[in-house]
Each structure stands twice: as structure tokens, then as C-alpha cells.
């Protein structure tokens, strides 16, 4: 039986060479595929491909196998203002699907090709195709991911690299998918807690603006015709004054709101301004405690997941600092990194920073002493995930009556201000009759 030399990529995208016995090139390709390899060149021993300029040209694999692994043709062209980021939920689904495919025994390259064919998001589809091309050309998966920093952050790349080095890529991808799922869950709960008051406040402002701009002026005209120079109640004069100001300065009011929003965003882009904004967020009544618990949960889960996946503690602290999402927490992590780099424990700088509750510091201390720091960090994350759930429920229960009372006070004040003169008008008419 003839022997065939081959060049192939394994599940990690690494190139390997060797020989296999088979009756034909197609049969050799089939054997390689069953073994989990992606052959890029197969030729019979003694019949090596002709050399060009001193370099051996590898022959393509047989056409019969091409449909199973064919890479879709890339569309070329220039698109202005092309979106370059992917929503976290879409990336989470991609990671989970990739982990499932690799855990099922599919090679990495074939898994990427499968996901590229079925992906509906155009940005992620192009990126997955580029990842497949990069892996096929001999790059590692982590190096391929690092070429797309706007989609795959440093945490993602570092975990994949640790999985490649340890030969447990499918396990690390599973952890990464679980990490993204829990982070998305927490993010959704926090957003749901923020959306309710935002909707109520928007409705209150819209209703108040409609009453002040369209309804109050009509009543003012009625009062002037019916009452003449008779003095109006103080609350009515107050509402009419606000109505006149809103009518005459509505452009300035809208411009002021827009300028305030953009000013805060510009301030948050500077290091000092970002620190002030983050400190203000942590001190907000009702919301500050929720934001702090969310940041601590993210810190513990990120650091625990990285260390569990084989990333060194110093590198894990750097990544956790960059993905903290709050400069107060990030500065505390930076202090921990510097002290650990000098050979100290992570407990003391955590306690000194004042950004972490005593319970968190104590649990980390116990985890460090028992050699179970990663497990303890993940346990802290689970505890604070539950705390976030409780905080969201409590926040919603508190905000509902507060928002209702606020809306009632705003609308009620305007209604009372308009009806008090009407009562006076009705009384005058009754006396005349």
C-alpha cells in the first residue's frame, strides 16, 4: 500500500507533518479528517511537487473534500462608517457555540468555518472568516484574536492563550462563555433597574412640558378675560411664570440639557474627570450601592476566571484593572498589582484601598491562606451576584412609589394652580346670577 506525505493543521491551528498509508490521496485525506486534522497538502512518497525558485509548492487537497471545508468567498469593497464592534450578547453566543463545537470534537478551523457560514451579524461574520484565514495560515488562535482588539479584549485573548498553552482550549472557552453569560445577566439586571426611573422621569418631563407650553397659556388667557386685574393665587402665579419662561427659552433649555450630557461625556474621557464621575456614581443615593456591588462582582469573577484558566496573577490583575469599569476599583487593583509584584500579599492593599468591603477582604485572605484563591474569588462573585439581585429588587420596590409620588406632585401642582382661579370664577358667576 502506498504511503502519502501530508502537511496538516491540528485542532489548535498548529501545522504538523507526517505520513499515512492509503490506497489513494482521497483516502489519505479521509483518514486525516477522521483523526481531527485539516490537510493542506497530501502527495505520494517519491512524487513530491515540483520546486519553483528553490521552494517546494504544496499541492492542494483533492477537490472531493472541498465542499466540507470550503471558505466562503470574501467580498471586497470599501464601506464608509463601517461598524467595527459587536454587541456583548452576540459575542457571548459566538463563544458558547465555539466552545460546544470544539468540545464535540470538531477541529478549530472547521468550527470557525461553520460559525462563519451561519453568523448573521456582518461584523462578526467578517471577523470569524478572518480568524479562519489567520489560523489556516499557521497563526495560533490567540494571536488571531489579538488582531481584532475592538471585538476581543485582552481578557478574551489571554484566556484563550492560556488554554492553548495548557492544551485545554475547549475548557477555557467554556469558562469564558460562562463568564460572559453571567456578566451579561448582571448587566441586564442593572439596566432594568435604571430603565424604569428613566422612563418615568421622561414621561414626567414630557407631561410637564406639554402642560406648561400648551395648556397653561390657554388658562392664562381665560383668567385674564374673566378675572381682569383681580390677583391670582400664589401657586398659579408661580406656574404661569414657569410656563412663560419655558415658552420663551425652550431652545436654551433643550440646549442646556444636551450640553450637560455632552459635557459629562467629555469630562469622563479625561483621567481626572473619569475619576470624579466614577466617585460620584459610587456616592449616588440608592444607585451607588448597586454600582459598587456590580463592580466588586466583576472584579472577583474576572480575576477568578483568569487565574483558574492558568493566567499568571500579575497579568490577571492587569487585565482585571483594565476591565474594571470604574476608576476607583481600578486604582485599588493597581495598588494590589504593585504590592504583589514586590512579593507581598494581595490582602493588605485591598484593605488599605477602602474600596472593598471587609467581607471580601476576609474571604480573599482565607482563600490565599488555604491555596484556594481562584475558587474563593468565584464564590465572592456568586455571593455578590445574589447581592445585585437583591439590590435590584429593593431598588425597584423603592423607586416605584417614589416615581409615582413625584409624577403626582408635578402634575397635581399644575392642576391645582389652574383650578383655584376657576373656583373663583365659578363663585363670581354664581353671585352674579
Q: Which three cell numbers stand for residue 163?
A: 488554554
pLDDT score at 28: 79
N- to C-terminal Cα separation, the chain: 121
pTM of the model: 0.64
pLDDT score at 78: 41
Q: Does domain 183-433 have CATH number 1.20.81.30?
A: yes
Tell me if 180 sits within 8 A of 106, measured CB to CB: no
* Distance, CA of 432 to CA of 51 (rounded, Å): 116
Tell me phi and psi for residue 38, to 5 degrees.
-115, 100
Helices (H), 167-311: 169-210, 216-227, 234-248, 250-268, 271-283, 287-308
- 10 Å CB burial of residue 243 (0-12, 13-18, 19+) is buried
Q: Sign of the CA dihedral 117, 119, 123, 124? A: negative
Tell me if 243 sits within 8 A of 417, measured CB to CB: no
pLDDT score at 80: 40
Q: Which three cell numbers stand for residue 129?
A: 472568516
Question: What angle is formed at CA 211 by the lines to CA 202 and CA 416, rounded to 5 degrees?
Answer: 110
Determine the topology of domain 88-182 in CATH.
Answer: Receptor-associated Protein (1.20.81)
- 325 in the Ramachandran plot: left (φ > 0), alpha (ψ -120 to 50) or beta? left
pLDDT tens digits in sequence order for the chain, 433 residues long: 778 888 776 655 566 788 888 887 777 777 777 777 767 677 777 664 444 333 344 433 333 333 333 334 444 444 444 566 888 888 888 988 898 888 888 888 888 999 998 888 888 999 999 998 988 888 888 889 988 888 888 888 888 888 887 777 888 888 888 888 888 888 887 787 778 778 878 888 888 888 888 888 888 888 888 777 778 888 888 888 888 888 888 888 888 888 988 888 888 788 788 888 888 888 888 788 888 888 888 888 888 888 888 888 888 888 888 878 788 888 888 888 888 888 888 888 888 878 888 888 899 889 888 888 888 998 998 898 888 888 888 887 888 788 888 888 888 888 888 888 888 777 777 777 6
Q: Sign of the CA dihedral 265, 266, 267, 268? A: positive
pLDDT score at 379: 92
Edge-to-edge order in the sheet of strand 15-21? 15-21, 3-9, 38-44
Question: What b/e sequence results for 336-366 when a residue is b if at least 16 CB atoms lie within 10 Å of its CB, and e otherwise?
Answer: bbebeeeeeebbebbbebebbeeebbebbbe
Amino acid at each position: 500500500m502506498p504511503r502519502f506525505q501530508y502537511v496538516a493543521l491540528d485542532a489548535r491551528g498548529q501545522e504538523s507533518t507526517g505520513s499515512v498509508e492509503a490506497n489513494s490521496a482521497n483516502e489519505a485525506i479521509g483518514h486525516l479528517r477522521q483523526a481531527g486534522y485539516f490537510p493542506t497538502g497530501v502527495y505520494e512518497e517519491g512524487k513530491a511537487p515540483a520546486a519553483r525558485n528553490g521552494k517546494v509548492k504544496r499541492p492542494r487537497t483533492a477537490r472531493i473534500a472541498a465542499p466540507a471545508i470550503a471558505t466562503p468567498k470574501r467580498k471586497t469593497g470599501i464601506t464608509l462608517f463601517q461598524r467595527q464592534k459587536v454587541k456583548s450578547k452576540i459575542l457571548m453566543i459566538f463563544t458558547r457555540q465555539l466552545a460546544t463545537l470544539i468540545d464535540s470534537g470538531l477541529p478549530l478551523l472547521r468550527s470557525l468555518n461553520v460559525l462563519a457560514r451561519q453568523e448573521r451579524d456582518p461584523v462578526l461574520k467578517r471577523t470569524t472568516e478572518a480568524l479562519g484565514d489567520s489560523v489556516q495560515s499557521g497563526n495560533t488562535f490567540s494571536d488571531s484574536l489579538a488582531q481584532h482588539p475592538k471585538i476581543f479584549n485582552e481578557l478574551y485573548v489571554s484566556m484563550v492563550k492560556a488554554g492553548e498553552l495548557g492544551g485545554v482550549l475547549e475548557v477555557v472557552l467554556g469558562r469564558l462563555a460562562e463568564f460572559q453569560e453571567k456578566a451579561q445577566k448582571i448587566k441586564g439586571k442593572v439596566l432594568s433597574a435604571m430603565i424604569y426611573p428613566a422612563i418615568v422621569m421622561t414621561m414626567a418631563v414630557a407631561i410637564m412640558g406639554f402642560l406648561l407650553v400648551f395648556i397653561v397659556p390657554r388658562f392664562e388667557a381665560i383668567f385674564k378675560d374673566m378675572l381682569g386685574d383681580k390677583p391670582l393665587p400664589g401657586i398659579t402665579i408661580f406656574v404661569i411664570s414657569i410656563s412663560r419662561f419655558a415658552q420663551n427659552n425652550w431652545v436654551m433649555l433643550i440646549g442646556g440639557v444636551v450640553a450637560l450630557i455632552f459635557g459629562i461625556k467629555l469630562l469622563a474621557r479625561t483621567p481626572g474627570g473619569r475619576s470624579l464621575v466614577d466617585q460620584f456614581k459610587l456616592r449616588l443615593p440608592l444607585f451607588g450601592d448597586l454600582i459598587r456591588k456590580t463592580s466588586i462582582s466583576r472584579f472577583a469573577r474576572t480575576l477568578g476566571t483568569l487565574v483558574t484558566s492558568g493566567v499568571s496573577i500579575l497579568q490577571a490583575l492587569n487585565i482585571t484593572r483594565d476591565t474594571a469599569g470604574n476608576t476607583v476599583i481600578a486604582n485599588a487593583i493597581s495598588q494590589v498589582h504593585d504590592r504583589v509584584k514586590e512579593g507581598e500579599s494581595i490582602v493588605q492593599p485591598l484593605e488599605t484601598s477602602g474600596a472593598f468591603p471587609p467581607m471580601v477582604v476576609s474571604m480573599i485572605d482565607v482563600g490565599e491562606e488555604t491555596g484556594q484563591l481562584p475558587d474563593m474569588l468565584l464564590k465572592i462573585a456568586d455571593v455578590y451576584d445574589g447581592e445585585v439581585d437583591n439590590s435590584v429588587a429593593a431598588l425597584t420596590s423603592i423607586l416605584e412609589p417614589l416615581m409615582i409620588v413625584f409624577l403626582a406632585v408635578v402634575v397635581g401642582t399644575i392642576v391645582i394652580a389652574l383650578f383655584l382661579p376657576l373656583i373663583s370664577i365659578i363663585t363670581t358667576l354664581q353671585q352674579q346670577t
